[in-house]
Amino acid sequence: MNRPRPAGWEAPVTVAELVDAGPLAGARMYGAGDQPVHQVRIVDELAVFATVAPHTAVVLIGAAAGGGWAVEMAVRRAWEQAAACVIAPSGGPSEGSGQVLAERLGITLVFVDGDPLVTAVRVASAAARPEAARTQLVARCATRLAEAGPSARRVLGVLNAELPGTSVAFLDRYGAHVAGRRAAHPSPAPQPPGSGHTPGVAPGPGSGLGATSAPSAGPGTGRGARPVTGGPSGTGADPGGGSRTGHTGGSGPAHGPRSGDSGAGSRRSSAPAAWEAVPRPGGPGSRTGRAGAEAGPAGDAAGSAATGPGAGAASGSRPAAAGAGGDGGGRGGDEGRQAPERGRDERRQAAQRGGAVLAEVEVTGQEGDVLGRLVASGSSRSAGWPAVVRAVLGLAVAPLAAWAATERLRASRDFALQAALAERLLRAGEPGEPGEEADAAAREAAVALGWPTRGPVTGFLLRPFGEPAQAGSRGPQGADEAAQAQAVVNAVVGQVPVLRRGEGWAGWSALDPGRLAERLRRCVEAMPRPCAAGVGARVSGLDAVGESLLGAEAGAFVAVAGSVVRADRMGPAELLGALPAGALRAPAAVVLRPLLDVDRDGSLLETLTAVLDEGGSLRAAERLGVHRNTVTTRLERIRAAGYDLADPATRLALHLACHLTSAPS
Amino acid sequence: MTAVGPRELERFAAGSRLFATGAADSSYALAHDWARAVIGDGVPVRQASDLDPGALCVAVTLAGSTTALGEQLPRGDEPERAVRALERRLGTRAAAVVALNLAAENALIPLIAAAALGVPLIDGDGTGRVFPLVEQTTYTLGGISAAPLALAGASGELVLLETAPDRVEDLLRPVVLSLGGWAVAACYPMAARDLARVVVPGTVSLLLRAGTPGAPRSAAAPYGVRTLCRGRILAVEGSTGHGGELALPSLPSSILVQESDGLRRLIRLEAHNEIVLALADGAAVAMAPDQICMIAATGGLVVDVDKAAPGMEVEVMVVKAAPVWHTQEGLALGGLRAFGIPL
Amino acid sequence: MILGVALGGRAPVAVAVRDGAFAGPADPRAARAARAACVAVDLEPAGAAPVAVIRVGGPCPPVLGPLAGWPDGSGVATIVRGGHSLTGRPLAPLDTDAVRAFAAGCGLTDFAVTATGSPVLADHELAVAAVVSAEVPGARITLSYEFGRPGLREREGDAIRNAALGPAAGRLADEVAARLPGVPLYFARSGSGLVSEHYFRRYPLACLRGAAASHARGLAALGEAAGVPGPVAAAYGATLAVPEAQVERIVQARGRAELDRVLQDVRDEVLTRVVSAGAAPGSAAIAETIVNPLSYLPDGLYRVLVTARGAAP
């Protein structure tokens, strides 16, 4: 690391940092872990606590770690001494109750599997030189990133593995997820880090666990998932008995035979064991009715779908996180409202992990174009941690740029590859299309290639005229010329896909139709043989680009060689102008023959054209500068020549023939 | 002829608690359950004078702490083993068992011993009340030596002490501690004719009467009882000692009782395992060898010195000791000086 | 608003207490907005679970054995070698093999462990707990030293009763928690005081007669207001108590300084327990310390009973 270290780099490590990415990795942590650790003290008897200084990580050994209330007592003494945390060997019988006490006192309690003395030495080393520990982490990340090579997935894999407790996602420039951990990243509208997010509230029990594991509800908090009995007078009737398998509550059956909180609500109305309203002392003893019947279903801050009144039957499948009934669920709900389109799992994970953005780094390609952003989120439990995360994210930019360059080089060398990719993207939105994984891969590649995949896009089509310039250049696939077209389009329009459409080549761009038409004009000029191009209308996204491509096709069809036609500007004139006048002139002459035979001065043809163009004799008379009766007389002569002007088919044929005959050849 | 059968046992046990100190609930309940399981149809109760004058009588008692007995349970053979050890030493079979005192467990364990040995229990005891030391008995006053003395411990230990009478306590105490805090002692082996001379007679029968439901508490006090005061315990202090040099089994402590009515005196009870002196506003109003005890206002049980707690409502009672304790020899053995208080 | 809840009658009865004043029956719709709920309940021995009883000590007459005199179906029991004398001397090494074999074969998950001498030294009980939890995953283990009473049989009885009440108390706590989601729960102790839901699950015995104690307290506080239904008085009485915990031990100390030190350890534990029982950490304070020398034992053995109380958070 040559660049100067950002602020916070030398801030003391926190307990959470030690657990997330330090010597306590893999340990079970209860509590927020936000206390800085200045030193370590090994405690073998409680008397030692009298001399424990604030911000000390206390490592319990021997009698001080022995069963009974030893760990709990240490937690309380640690609280008295403002220690940073208590580290105890795991497996003791008091783990469950220690956890409750730790949360009540706000003292972080960490259970480690290994030798506590070894742990103590490592923690001491990390606490003594926080910057060294962080530098070490960053250096390790650099090595692992170098090993990962130019692959977005592997790079993100390294980031998420080396920054535990932190979720790193790679978002494309539209804010859509490309790779990494699909966790609390900002909603699609890019936001500055931190804004609009709940601050990193520690999600409570289970927060030190991996992202994929279900939240472990602590004693008392897991109650929602336990069997619920029918009421004090009906306990015997409950078939569950499931709570017997629970120890201190944390291990209660997650999906026991319960009817859920809301079930209890609905059951309450019929059960005799309702909360009973009681008369005031000394009052006449009038009952105000069974209160329980009015009590709504159990509150479910998570806004889980299954908890409407009387939805008891469905609530058994509620995710455990919602059952936690506490803050975790509530945060999940907030996240969900911010990003309603996101899946439930994602919401839940966001709730679990705390959604604050710790660091965000823009990823640019080697050409300076923006590929997307790396977003790291999690609880900022240490003043130094965001700086470390930012540094590590910074290390990942170069491999991601290299990944993009590699992908682009590959695509530029292989028209078929990128064309197939483009076809895949076009089909991805269609329902029933198999291969979600392939779609994800295609989207990932599109990010590397810099293709537009979200937001307004415009389709285009490049149409060649005549025969290929060089003999044999078409080949069986016309591969050479297609590659040429791709190269020209990429050079002039930018990083866009190019795929075969009929005789021509199509694609889409984020440019608006006007600017795209300008660029295509230069493409048309640069192509070795005559070409025309059409530009479709601007559509809202990739799923509608097919429509835009149809317009582009039409535009290209009506465009004369060397020109570019925008479908959104195309009217009848352009369509009529595109008719193959040369080929149709002879049949037109046949159709008009009876008329031309009697039309000595061309006035009949002129009048017919005017009437059909203007849609009536009055306006035709005005256009021709003659009296209305003159027009009527001439129309009579035309009818006399055998034309039924009331027949729409006849009118269309005549109109077309007139147009071709009167148009300059 | 009287016998202690299942029905009498309940009365005997109840009577044995009326003025008993040191009777922790646990050890008493334990001895009671134990006795119930072993007495069978009943243990005969005999007067010492009714026995063959030459027959060997042995005193049986719990030595040590009742708390320890409640914690480390007996194997069940301790009383029998202790007596058998003494028999082996003397070469004679015991014809009867007598109690050292008749307070709670100490009334029940001789009964258990008698049942186990199949011999009668003597109607009488060696104090007429309780003293903390094995040698503080009317047997000693009558010139009988506590030794040879056999101790049986809960882990199967057996110890035989043979020493001068005034050394018994010295030797006994550390041995009992190393046995875990309690043991059953068989001691004061003597002929029935000697026992008849030194025993406080009739006390077993007395307790059987006093333990009958409805009987007044005073029925358990053969020589009279009076109430010193009713009041509330204000404080319990580990006292700093009384200037004497006597090594007593436990720390002395001091209990302060505020009289609830009347003169509202402040009563200080000085205790060495048991209360030996009562001072009312500084003046001595009762002292050993008379027995001073606190009876809980709720429940009516004797409050042990080590269970006394501030806030308890108690009645302080004084049980008059047998006349022999008020002789010069009796005062020397069981009076205040014996407890290290130079009054 | 604090909710007082009395269970055990035909239906639960809830009363509200606002700013420390009795505010009559609780509006059930507002009940879940309560700051805390204090539950008064008498636990029924009828729901007791069978218990695996382990006594650590020497042989004894059958009449003094574990579960002797208990009703059929109370559980299964064994005596394993081990324990300590009141002076802290090991009586025998703990027979861990016997513990393991019993735990594996008893077929029960609620254990009560009582070691001779545990009020002085709980090492063997803790060691048994470790063996049992390794052998029977998820076992709930009550250790008698937690109840502290001197007297092995009484302490063992407490441990057995506590273990037997565990499953029913857990179900009860589940049920109340389900009715009042998000409301911190407290349960009235048998004597005075409250404990947290967590503490109640661990030591239900402390709340055996919670309703009776609350009822007496409630009646006293409501004065002679005649006609107050019993459950109302109990529900109100429950709200009048504060978190409380007690530790009883036998300690050994030679001299004042050592006694102060060991007393400090006991105070530490009771303060920890009262916080675990629901006291706001800063409010936990020692309410009472009773130290009595033990009679007829060597100098320096004391029976210590320390009570701590605190404010509910």
Q: What is the pLDDT of residues C186-209, one digit of tens each?
A: 999 998 999 999 999 999 999 999
pLDDT band for position A246 (50/70/90)?
Answer: very low
Whether the predicted pLDDT of A323 surpasses 70: no
The domain segmentation of chain A, as residue ranges, is: 15-128, 136-200+355-408, 425-577, 581-662
Residue scoring higher pLDDT (A652 or C7): C7
Q: What is the pLDDT of residue A295?
A: 35
Q: What is the pLDDT along chain B (343 residues), one digit of tens a residue?
A: 689 999 999 999 988 888 876 555 789 999 999 999 999 999 999 999 999 999 999 999 999 888 899 999 999 999 999 999 999 999 999 999 999 988 888 999 999 999 999 999 999 999 887 676 778 889 999 999 998 999 999 999 999 999 998 899 889 988 998 898 899 999 999 999 999 999 999 999 999 998 888 888 888 888 888 999 999 998 887 643 333 333 344 555 788 999 988 888 899 998 876 788 999 888 889 998 898 989 988 878 888 777 788 889 999 999 888 888 889 888 888 888 887 777 6
Residue carrying the six token digits 């005061």: B229
DSSP state of C17: E
Nearest-Cα distance to chain B for C116, in Å, is: 6
Q: Which CATH number fits domain A136-200+355-408: 3.30.450, 2.60.40, 3.10.50, 3.40.50?
A: 3.30.450
Chain C: give the shortest CA distance to residue A148, in Å: 42
**Selecting from 3.60.150.10, 3.40.1390.20, 1.20.950.20, 3.40.50.300, what CATH number does the domain A15-128 have?**
3.40.1390.20
Question: Are C55 and C144 in contact, with CB atoms under 8 Å apart?
Answer: no
Candidates C135, C87, C134, C132; CA nearest to C112 is C132
CA A383 to chain CA centroid, Å, is: 29
Task: Taking residues C208-217, report their average pLDDT.
Answer: 92
C244 vs A558, more confident: C244
User: In whole angstroms, how far apart are CA A610 and each of A574, A590, A633, A659, C16?
Assistant: 19, 20, 14, 10, 93
Distance CA B311, CA B313 (A): 6
B305 min Cα distance to partner chain C (Å): 8
User: Which of C239-251 are b and which e, b meaning 16 or more Cβ less than 10 Å from the residue's Cβ?
Assistant: bbbbbbbbbbbbb
CB contact under 8 A, A227 and C12: no
Q: Which domains does chain B have, with CATH numbers?
A: 2-213 (3.40.1610.10), 225-339 (2.40.390)
> What's the burial of C133, exposed, middle or buried (CB within 10 Å: 0-12/13-18/19+)?
buried
In this predicted structure, the answer to whether residue C16 has a pLDDT above a threshold of 50 is yes
- The reply to whether residue C150 touches residue B29, judged by beta carbons under 8 angstroms, is no
The partner residue sitting opposite B26, judged by closest CB among C59, C150, C305, is: C150
Q: What integer pLDDT is reported at residue B217 of this predicted model?
A: 83
Secondary-structure percent of chain A, ordered helix, strand, coil, rounded to 5: 50, 15, 40
- The pLDDT of residue A95 is 61
> Does pLDDT of C173 surpass 70?
yes
| pLDDT tens-digit map of A186-199 | 444 333 333 333 33
CB count in 10 Å sphere of residue C184: 18
Inter-residue contact B134 to B172 (CB < 8 Å): yes
- Give the nearest chain C residue to B307 (CA atoms): C292
Give buried/exposed letters for A98-108 (b at 16+ CB in 10 A, else e): bbbbbbbbebb
Least Cα distance to B301 among B312, B311, B291 occurs for B312
> Rounded to an integer, what distance in angstroms lies between the CA atom of residue A311 and that of residue C143?
42
Out of A101-115, A455-469, A583-597, B111-125, the most confident range is: B111-125
Min Cα separation A182/chain C (Å): 30
Task: Report yes or no: B318 and B302 within 8 Å, Cβ to Cβ.
Answer: no
Classify A425-577 by CATH class: alpha beta
Size of interface B-C (CB pairs under 8 A): 148
> In which order are the strands placed within the sheet that holds A166-172?
A177-180, A166-172, A370-378, A357-364
Fold type of domain C244-309: Dna Ligase; domain 1 (3.30.1490)
Q: Domain-by-domain residue ranges, chain C? A: 47-168, 244-309
**Greater confidence, A655 or B80?**
B80
> How much is the average pLDDT of A377-399?
80
Res A96 pLDDT > 70: no
Contact C61 B181 (CB under 8 A): no
Whether residue A296 and residue C145 make contact (CB cut-off 8 A), yes or no, is: no
Nearest CA-CA distance, residue B236 and chain C, Å: 8
Question: Mean per-residue pLDDT for A409-416?
Answer: 78
Q: Inform me whether the pLDDT recorded for A221 exceeds 80.
A: no
Q: Do A295 and C28 touch (CB under 8 A)?
A: yes
Question: What proportion of chain A, given as a percentage, has pLDDT over 90?
Answer: 2
Report CB contact under 8 Å: C297, B65.
Answer: yes
- Residue C157's H or E segment, with its range, is helix C152-179
DSSP labels for A241-265? -GGGG-SSSTTS-TT-S--HHHHHH
Q: What DSSP assignment string belongs to A67-94?
A: STTHHHHHHHHHHHTT-SEEEEETT-TT
Helix (H) or strand (E) segment spanning residue A119: helix A116-128
Per-chain mean pLDDT for chain A: 69
Contact C64/B250, CB-based, under 8 Å? no
Residue A660 in this model has a pLDDT that exceeds 80: no
**Number of other CB atoms surrounding residue A132 within 10 Å:** 12
The complex's ipTM works out to: 0.89
Return d(Cα A525, Cα A530) in angstroms, integer.
8
Please report all neighbours of C, defined by 3+ CB atom pairs within 8 A.
A, B
Angstrom CA distances, B19 to B225, B249, B290, B293, stand at 10, 21, 12, 7
Q: Burial letters for B121-152: b for 16+ Cβ neighbours within 10 Å, e otherwise?
A: bbbbbbbbbbbbbbbbbbbbbbebbbbbbbbb
Cβ neighbours of A272 in C, within 8 Å = 10-11
3-state secondary structure A561-600: CCCEEEHHHCCHHHHHHCCCHHHHHHHHHHHHHHHHHHCC
Which band of pLDDT confidence, cut at 50, 70 and 90, is reported for residue A48? confident
Contacts of B20 in chain C (CB under 8 A): none
Whether residues C296 and B304 touch (CB distance < 8 A) is answered with no
pLDDT at A549: 86
Residue A509 burial (C-beta neighbours within 10 Å; 0-12, 13-18, 19+): buried
Chain A CA closest to residue C131: A93
Mean pLDDT, residues A471-482 taken together: 57
Q: Quote the pLDDT of residue B171.
A: 92
Given a cut of 80, is residue A318 above it in pLDDT?
no
Q: Is B72 on the interface with C (CB under 8 A)?
A: yes
Q: Is C239 on the interface with A (CB under 8 A)?
A: no
pLDDT tier for residue C88 given thresholds of 50, 70 and 90 = confident
Specify the range with the lowest mean pLDDT, choosing from B304-318, C25-39, C53-67.
C25-39
Nearest 10 degrees: CA dihedral of A270, A271, A274, A278?
A: 80
**Subunits that touch chain A (at least 3 Cβ pairs < 8 angstroms)?**
C
CA distance C118 to C250: 9
Q: Pick from B277, B281, B285, B307: which is nearest to B295 by CA?
A: B307
- The answer to whether residue A267 scores a pLDDT higher than 80 is no
Q: Residue B250 is nearest to which of C85, C150, C296, comparing CB atoms?
A: C296
Q: Please name the amino acid found at residue C33.
A: A
What the block records as the tokens of A265 is 């609500």
pLDDT at A385 over 80: no
Is the confidence at residue C213, as pLDDT, over 90? yes
Distance from CA of A50 to the nearest CA of C (A): 11
Beta-carbon count within 10 A of A25 CB? 12
Query: CB–CB of B183/B151 below 8 Å?
Result: yes
Task: Please check whether residue C150 is in contact with residue C303, taking contact to mean a CB–CB distance below 8 angstroms.
Answer: yes
Please tell me the distance from the alpha carbon of residue A76 to that of residue A85, in angstroms, as a whole number.
11
Helices A130-148 and A385-413 sit at what angle, rounded to 10 degrees?
10
Average confidence (pLDDT) over A253-272 = 35
**Given this model, what pLDDT does residue A240 score?**
35
Whole-number pLDDT of residue A304: 37
B contact test, residue of C80, C147, C153, C296 with most B CBs within 10 A: C296
CB contact under 8 A, C152 and B73: yes
Query: Residue C60: its pLDDT value, please?
Result: 94
Among residues B36, B42, B37, the alpha carbon closest in space to that of B10 is found at B36
Nearest CA-CA partner of C88 in C112, C60, C116: C116
Q: At what angle do helices A603-614 and A648-662 cross, to 10 degrees?
A: 120
Nearest to B72 by CA among C118, C129, C34: C118
Is C286 a residue whose pLDDT tops 50? Answer: yes
Angstrom distance (rounded) from CA A345 to CA A353: 12
Check pLDDT > 90 for residue A478.
no
C-alpha A622/C-alpha A337 separation (Å) is 65
Q: How far apart are CA C153 and CA C64, in angstroms?
A: 8
- Locate the chain C residue with the closest alpha carbon to B181: C297
Q: A293-297, A604-608, B122-126 — which is least confidently predicted?
A: A293-297
The CATH class of C47-168 is alpha beta
Contact, A16 vs A381, CB < 8 A? Answer: yes
Q: Residues 64 to 83 of C: which have CB under 8 A from any B CB? A: 64, 69, 83
In this predicted structure, which of A285-289, B16-20, C241-245 has the lowest mean pLDDT? A285-289
Residue to test with chain C: of A71, A109, A280, A286, most C Cβ within 10 A: A280
pLDDT over 70, % of chain A: 65
- C interface mutation test: which of B73, B233, B274 has the most C CBs within 10 A? B73
Q: Six-digit token pair at C248?
A: 């009883």
